[in-house]
Amino acid sequence: MMGNHSGQLPLFFENVAAGSVMGVSGMDSRALGGDLTLGPNLMAAAAELQNLGGVGNHSAGIHVPLMDPLYLQYLRSTEYAAAQAVALNDPSMDREFIGNSYMDLLGLQKAYMGALPSPQKSQYGLPYFGKSDSLNHGFYGNPAFGLGLSYPGSPLAGPLLPNSPIGSGSPVRHGERNIRFPSGMRNLVGGVMGSWHSEAGGNLDENFPSSLLEEFKSNKTKCFELSEISGHVVEFSADQYGSRFIQQKLETATTEEKNMVFHEIMPQALTLMTDVFGNYVIQKFFEHGTASQIRELADQLTGHVLTLSLQMYGCRVIQKAIEVVNLDQQTKMVAELDGHIMRCVRDQNGNHVIQKCIECIPQDAIQFIVSVFYDQVVTLSTHPYGCRVIQRVLEHCSDAKTQCIVMDEILQSVCMLAQDQYGNYVVQHVLEHGKPVERSAIINKLMGQIIQMSQQKFASNVVEKCLTFGTPAERQILVNEMLGSTDENEPLQVMMKDQFANYVVQKVLETCDDQQLELILNRIKVHLNALKKYTYGKHIVARVEKLVAAGERRIGVLSSYSA
C-alpha cells in the first residue's frame, strides 16, 4: 500500500518509512508496552528482517540487538501516518477528519519525542532537534553510507563505531545546523581518522561546511585575507585547505589579525589540538603568537598534558609548546607526566614528548624523568621507542652520575645490544657521538668477536662504526682479526662470501690507511677466483670486484696526488 502511494507521503514520514525496521522474532507484545500492535507493513518488514537475520547495513555483516520497543513504537506511529496519507487520495474520506487526525498524530509524535532525553545530556553533544525543537523534515545524506544518526531516543549504539552517535536508522538531516560531530568524524568517509572523543574540550561544529569555506576552496582567483574569515576560524582550522591558509597567514599576520584568530580558537583550542588539521594551527600560533597569547594558550594544556601526549596529533602540540614556553611553564607541564614516564616512553606518540623534554628542558627540572631509566637502560634500548629516548639521554644529559649509570649498563650488555634490532642503534650512537673512552670501551668488548658480529644483520653496522670512528690502532687490531693468523686468510674469505660481512670488508677498504690498502686488496684478489667456483657466487664476485675496483681507484688517486 505504501509503495503505491509513496509519492503522496509527507517527506518526513516517507524517509522514516524507508529507514531501518527492527526485527521482532519471538517477541511478546507485552514486552513492548501492552497494547502495541503492528500494521501489515511493519509485520512484513519484521518477517523479512527475521529471514535476513540482521538490521542496518547487511552487506557489512554488522548485527545489532533486534529488540527496541522505542523504535517499534516510533514506527507504529509512522505507519499510521502513512495510512492517513494514503487516505488523502480516497474521495470517500472526510478531508477535515483526515487533516485533524494527521495534525493530532504530529502533536502526538512531538510530545513523544519531547519526553525523550534532552540534547544537553548527550555525551557527544548531539541535539536531536533544531533550534525550535520542532521536527525537521529535510533529510540530508545518502543512507547507503550507513551514516545516519540513530532515531531520537534510540538506546542502540551505532553499528560503525562503539558508543558513537551513529545508528542504523534515519540519515543526517540537512537542516540540523546544531548537530556537533566529535573531532575526526568529519574524516570518516575520507579514511583519515582523528581522535573520536576529546576529554579535554568541546566538539567542533563541523557537520557541513559553510558557504564561505566552500567559496574559499572553489574560488581559485580570489585572494583571501585572515580578516575575511572572521567568525569561521575554527571551521577553517579543521579543514585541510583552511588550516593551511591560516598557517601561512599567521606568519605575516598583524597584531589585530592574530587577536581575531586567537579569540576564536581559544574556546575550541583543546579540540583543535587533537584534530588532524587543527593541530597545525595551534602549533603555528605557538610559533607566531604574542608572548601573552603563547602563555595563555599553554595554560589551556593544564590538566591535559598526559592525554594529549598519548594522542597522535596532541603530542605534536605538546612538543611545540615545550619548545617555545618559558621554563616555569615547561616545568608545570612535564610535572603532569610524573608517574607515567614509562607508559609514555613505550607509546608511539608519548615517546616523542619525552624526547622533547630531554632535549629542551634542563636536567635538574626533569631528573624525575631520567631517574626512572636507571636499571632500565638495556630494556629500553631494545624497545623500538625506548632506544630513541636512551639516545637523547646520552646526547643531552651531561650530569656525570647519569652518564656513568647509563654507560655502565650499556657496556655490561654491549654484545647483546649490538646484535639487537633496536639496541644496535644505541651502541652505534655511543661509537659516533660518545667520549673516546666510551668508544674504546665498546671496541675492546667486541674484539675477538668481529667475524661473528660482521655476519650478523644488525651487529655488522656496529662493526662498521668501529672501523669508522675507532683510532688507527684500534682499526688495525680489527683488520688483523679479519685477516687471520695464516696466509689463507680464512676469516676474510668467510666475510667476503657473507651477505652482511661483505659490507664490513668494503668499510675496511674505505677506512684503512694507505699502507694497509694495497695489502688488503692483494689478499682479496687471491680469493676472487675461488669465489667463482661457488654456484651461488656470481653476485658475490660482482660485489667483490666492485670493492677491488673502488680500492684501486683510491690507490690511483693517492698516487697521482703524491706525484
Least confident of 1-5, 255-259, 468-472: 1-5
CA distance 526 to 530: 8
pLDDT tens-digit series, residues 487-542: 667 888 888 888 899 899 889 988 988 778 878 888 887 777 777 776 555 666 77
Least confident of 62-66, 104-108, 316-320, 405-409: 62-66
Is the confidence at residue 325, as pLDDT, over 90?
A: yes
Neighbours of 311 (CB within 10 A): 23
Q: What pLDDT shows up at residue 563?
A: 57
pLDDT tens-digit series, residues 75-112: 555 555 555 555 555 554 544 444 455 455 555 555 54
The strand ranges marked E within 393-484 are none
295: amino acid identity, one letter: R
pLDDT tens-digit series, residues 350-404: 999 999 999 999 999 999 999 999 999 999 999 999 999 999 999 999 999 999 9
pLDDT tens-digit series, residues 1-49: 444 444 444 444 344 444 443 444 444 444 444 444 445 455 544 444 4
The strand ranges marked E within 284-380 are none
Dihedral angle, C-alpha 11, 13, 19, 23, nearest 10 °: -170
Long-range contacts of 56-64 (CB under 8 A, 24+ apart): 56/20, 56/146, 56/159, 56/167, 56/168, 57/146, 57/159, 57/168, 60/146, 60/159, 62/159, 62/160, 64/156, 64/157, 64/159, 64/168
DSSP string, 293-315: HHHHHHHTTTT-HHHHHTSTTHH
User: What's the mean pLDDT when you consider all of the chain?
Assistant: 74
Least confident of 318-332, 368-382, 449-463, 521-535: 521-535
pLDDT greater at residue 208 or residue 138: 208
How many angstroms separate the Cα of 120 from the Cα of each of 116, 129, 171, 180, 211? 12, 11, 21, 12, 27
Q: What pLDDT shows up at residue 291?
A: 95
488: amino acid identity, one letter: E
Least confident of 193-197, 283-287, 399-403: 193-197
Q: What pLDDT shows up at residue 220?
A: 83
